[in-house]
Amino acid sequence: MNRAATTAAVAVTLASALTLTACGGSSGSQTSADSKQTLSVWAMGAEGEKLADVAKVYEKANPNITVKVTPIGWDVAHQKLVAAAAAGRLPDVMQMGGSYMTEFASMGALEPVDTKTFEEKDYFPAGWSQGEFEGETYGVPWYVDTRVLYYRTDLAEKAGVDKAPATMDELRQAAEKLQKKAGSKWGLSIQPGGLDTVQSFYQFLYSAGGQIVTKDGKAVANSPEAVKALENYGGYFEKGLSEKSVRPGYDVTKDFNNGSVPMFFGGPWIMGLIDDNYPDLKGKWAVANVPADETSASMAGGSALTISADSEHKAAAGEFIKYLTDTKGQADWYKRTKDLPANVSAWDRGQLATDPNMKIWKTQMESAQVAPAQPKWTEITSKIDTAVEKVTQGKASAQSALDAAQKEIEGLVAK
């Protein structure tokens, strides 16, 4: 069973389970924040490992609190959250990606955020809105994520490209020059198909002014803007500028290092990977904002911190989240992880304020586009994954591929 089908199936199971267990926790007893207690926390991926270190610091300052952090791999995170919610055994605090938020909020598994303690104005709009559902906010932004263009400045110079591509036309021209004049095997690495291809396509879609579903629940996957974006995207494969087949687990930084891939779109963590793994590349690469079509826009990602509706430690959970998301906590988290702070005030100090590269990330984050609140969003985007792959493999035109996706998405959209 594919991921989209699995998600749909477990969502139905979870909905039934939550109905049966009357999830919501309104009748549970509550422990005051200053009482001796243990907070259970689930965090995913590398963040789960790093958060345990922060928890130890927090415990020293708050001796009445024991923070038990359980790291969970992103590959099994959704499954574990679903099972725990169905059993009424979610942790007090959990990290939650934007794509999960609507699903769990719609089923009553999450406690609404106290918006007097956590104020919208303190966070990037894209980060805050990922936690919103039907007029309530369910997640406090922890870190944000977006995509920018990475490019080899030394190869660009060799190819006669004297500045970062500022428009989509310039991006295509740079890819052609890099391939022909700098000896790169490819001009630009973008995903040809498979799971989450949509994340590679978003930069083209949003910059062209397209969307998949509007905020008010209208499917627009085959709009003229979306078709234009997919035609542009598919053109890289048609012209041999991008590779049509990428193996699972492909690490683009290896080919970036050897020069066979001179440009790609990537997230902030890749800067650290390049610095750590390829020190000889120092001074030979840079990042730039997404080249503009109608605008320069990228996807908004990241994670929020949420509280279980059934938690008996909501006050202490809120205090811990406040510690992690205020200006000081966010600056400390950036030093530990290089995750982009969701709290905008954290960008006014240290490297975040002085590094030119970080200004590019901040600018891109300010215009980043958020996926609409749709409980079946994973299943919806899987239809775009399929459409993109049809085009990159030469099996359909952009128009026909998106027309097919549109018909399927219309039946999945919640109005």
| Domain-embedded: residue 173 | yes
| Domain-embedded: residue 339 | yes
Let me know whether 172 and 283 are in one domain: yes
E strands, 73-139, are: 93-97, 132-133, 136-137
Q: From CA 232, how far away is CA 178, in angstroms rounded?
A: 18
Let me know whether 201 and 324 are in one domain: no
- Does the pLDDT at position 267 exceed 90? yes
Report the Cα–Cα distance between both ends of the chain, in Å, rounded. 27
| Domain-embedded: residue 189 | yes
Mean pLDDT along residues 324-332: 96
| Domain-embedded: residue 263 | yes
Token pair in block for residue 116: 């007097």
Q: 206: Cβ–Cβ under 8 A, 6 or more apart, which residues?
A: 295, 297, 298, 299, 369
Let me know whether 42 and 103 are in one domain: yes
Let me know whether 115 and 152 are in one domain: no
pLDDT of residue 28: 60
| Domain-embedded: residue 196 | yes
Q: From CA 306, how far away is CA 111, in angstroms rounded?
A: 7
Closest-CA residue to 150 (of 115, 110, 178, 120): 178
What is the tally of structural domains in the chain? 2
Q: Does the CA dihedral 306-309-313-314 come out positive or negative?
A: positive
Do 139 and 304 contact (CB within 8 A), yes or no? yes
**12 band by pLDDT with thresholds 50, 70 and 90:** very low
| Domain-embedded: residue 415 | no
pLDDT tens per residue, range 197-237 = 999 999 999 999 999 999 999 999 999 999 999 999 999 99
- Does the pLDDT at position 118 exceed 70? yes
Amino acid at site 139: G
pLDDT tens per residue, range 331-386 = 999 999 889 999 999 999 888 999 999 999 999 999 999 988 888 888 999 999 99
Let me know whether 107 and 239 are in one domain: no
Let me know whether 285 and 154 are in one domain: yes
Domain that holds residue 336: 3-145+302-366
Let me know whether 215 and 333 are in one domain: no
Provide the CATH number for the domain around residue 110.
Answer: 3.40.190.10
- Does the pLDDT at position 17 exceed 60? no
Let me know whether 16 and 107 are in one domain: yes
Let me know whether 238 and 383 are in one domain: yes
| Domain-embedded: residue 362 | yes
pLDDT of residue 246: 85
Let me know whether 348 and 396 are in one domain: no
- Does the pLDDT at position 84 exceed 60? yes
Let me know whether 18 and 136 are in one domain: yes
| Domain-embedded: residue 371 | no
pLDDT tens per residue, range 159-195 = 999 999 999 999 999 999 999 999 999 999 999 999 8
Let me know whether 295 and 205 are in one domain: yes
Q: 137: Cβ–Cβ under 8 A, 6 or more apart, which residues?
A: 112, 113, 115, 118, 120, 128, 131
